[in-house]
Chains A and B, each alone.
Chain A
Amino acid sequence: MKQIKKIAFWLLVLFLLILICLPGIWIFVSAFRPNPEILSKPANWIPDRWTIHQFTQMFSINGYVSVPAFKYLMNSVIISSVSTVIAITIGMMGGYAFARFNFRGKNSIFLSLMLARAVPGISLSLPLFILFAKLGIINTSFGVILVYVAMNVPFTIWLTDGFFRQIPKEMSEVARTDGCTRLQAFWNVELPLAGPGIGAAAIFAFLLSWNEYALASIITRTVHSKTLPIGMMDYLDEFTINWAGMCAIAVVMIIPALILTFIVQKHLVSGLTFGGVKG
């Protein structure tokens, strides 16, 4: 009886795993075969002919470019990195303040930050579009960075607040009686201790920016500022869809995300739970 239960359990796990991984596997194999084969019926799981044509074309290795994917990749890298650095810097300072200081309206400020995070991004798209158009920062990397910083700051504050709370406050007190200013105590003692947590928060922020589609699709227009997820749409022509090209871009997007997720997975649960201690 126990044996059967165990087998059933693992079968269920296997089934769920396949269910989750299937689209990923499909994207991966499709990136390496010609477009017509993707559309063949019945579906062909193992490509008859492997090709890296989509990748060479994407990075214009053979001189001909249909979609400037390399530019999109650069945009994505720059926008995600810069917005992450800014968001984590602000988040770290904010999180430290919430964890260590008492000030008036502390709880309501914290709550409103979290509520801001709860607003569905897409509902902001129209006001954002008008505002950005008026300010003349539509279709610029700067505009996208601004949006992503705003999107990520509440999240990084929430996470780093939790990490700083984990460090006993005696740590900075003893550093201060050891001759440190508050800033030196932060820099020499609290930051190194919170370091791994802050790194994890930064990766979360990076991934959110990296994968973001809805808002970017509104405020980016051209090759100037489009990120990879938006650039992917270039493969949609009026009459044809280059599924293979899309899949290739998806692979380029997924790989860094996958690597970062592996790095951060240890902190994933702990980070989210100690952030959650705060109400």
Chain B
Amino acid sequence: MAEVKLKNITKKYGDVTAVQNMSLDIPHNEFLVLVGPSGCGKSTTLRMIAGLEEISGGEIYIGDQVVNEKDPKDRNISMVFQNYALYPHMTVEENLGFSLKIAKEDKEEIETRVKEAVQILGLEELRKRKPSQLSGGQRQRVAMGRAIVRRPDAFLFDEPLSNLDAKLRTQMRTEIKKLHQKLKTTVIYVTHDQVEAMTLADRIVIMKDGVIEQIGTPLELFEKPATKFVATFIGSPSMNMIEAKITNISGELYMETNDGISVLIPKHKKNSLAEGQKIFFGFRAEDIVPLKFGQKPKNSWSMTSKVNLAEPLGTETLIFTNLGNTEVVSRMFTPELVNSNDDLEFALNLDRTYLFDGDTGLAI
């Protein structure tokens, strides 16, 4: 029952700045996901909240208390680690009850709470087993159970699913989501998998090199990426991104790619651009479709290009083709066969293109 607040948090390891000036408000009961590429400071942030890593600057609040100087044990948080870190010398039920035993709860209370957790997670049969006798998925469950039993103010997860196979990962993802709805506790969840982030989060924090790139709901990040990095990071396949320059052809602004392809700039973007400005021009795969199998968008630009490769995935087909010299990917939802080396006419929906500044990467 607590909100978590970070105020200008910084973490330095010698000369390396792992996290820089990070501020974040996490209201009670929010499922917040920290996502970003490897080494961007996600784990470091989480470990600072847990109290396992000292803070070089700034303040962390849990509830309305500053916890900078508090030991992990006094923060009333639970953490689930990537490798589960189950106590190998204890049985499942001892693992689950350990925190309560340390807190000197009486036996009956421990038993009721362990029982409750075991039921929620379907571990009844495994209570007497040691961690070495469990499968990866079961270990994962025990690790979560251990966190639940404590009834913490906040759960911290550090890539809890990354050691599971794809199928189990999807299944556990759903379970974590359900668990959150049941328990109604603040969750801070670290992952580098954007699909996990999109499906689980109330809000996502995208980090890069120790700095927050953007905070928002999954849809906000998908629809209105604030930077080129966010645009390419969120969404699968990754947003197509083409380098271009703004040119003026008889009074109209165009973006011209390195290989001389010109595309008219949509009207509503015109005002914020200057002739000669370098930009990145981005669009998602589903916004460039083969005309033959789709509808021509209202405001579009077309090209004819050869198919490099087609990947039929059942409900959708990914088609790789070239726009000038850059390979772009198109996604169509019609189950039609496309052959490599076919020439197809593609239509790009200009209303759904994104422009980013060539130097700063900020959205225009």
Contact = CB atoms under 8 A, between A and B. Distances in A.
Contact of A176 (B73, B81, B87, B89): B73
Interface in A212-264: none
B73 A171 contact: no
A170 B86 CA distance: 9
Contacts of A184: 102
A181 B102 CA distance: 10
B85 A180 contact: no
A168 interface: yes
A121 interface: no
Interface residues of A, number: 17
Nearest to A170: B85
Contacts, number: 58
A200 B266 CA distance: 76
Contacts of B50: 173, 177
Indicate the member of A170, A175, A179, A181 with the most B CB atoms within 10 Å.
A179
Contacts of A171: 85, 87
Contact of A179 (B52, B73, B87, B88): B73
Nearest to A182: B71
B358 interface: no
A251 B52 CA distance: 54
B52 A176 contact: yes
Contact of A170 (B73, B81, B99, B102): B81
B78 interface: yes
A193 B89 contact: yes
A276 interface: no
A188 B104 CA distance: 14
**Size range of the chain B interface in the assembly:** 20 to 34
B98 interface: yes
A177 B72 contact: yes
A176 B71 contact: yes
A188 B52 contact: no
Given A168-B83, A170-B83, A173-B85, A178 B52 contact: no
Interface in B72-107: 72-73, 75, 77-79, 81, 83, 85, 87-89, 98-99, 102-103
Given A170-B81, A188-B102, A178 B88 contact: no
Contacts of A177: 50-52, 72-73, 75, 77-79, 156
B71 A181 contact: yes
B102 A180 contact: yes
Interface in A51-103: none
A177 B75 CA distance: 8
Interface centre among A171, A178, A189 (most CB of B within 10 A): A178
A47 interface: no
Contacts of A180: 73, 102
B42 interface: no
A181 B52 CA distance: 12
A181 B72 CA distance: 8
Contacts of A170: 81, 83, 85
**Closest 6 interchain pairs by CB?**
A170-B85, A178-B99, A174-B85, A176-B72, A177-B79, A179-B102
30 contacts: A168-B85, A170-B81, A170-B83, A170-B85, A171-B85, A173-B52, A173-B79, A173-B81, A174-B85, A174-B146, A175-B98, A176-B52, A176-B73, A177-B51, A177-B72, A177-B73, A177-B75, A177-B77, A177-B78, A177-B79, A178-B78, A178-B99, A179-B73, A179-B103, A179-B150, A180-B102, A189-B89, A192-B89, A193-B88, A193-B89
Given A173-B50, A189-B87, A192-B89, 12 more contacts: A174-B85, A174-B146, A177-B50, A177-B79, A178-B73, A178-B98, A179-B73, A179-B102, A179-B150, A180-B73, A193-B88, A193-B89
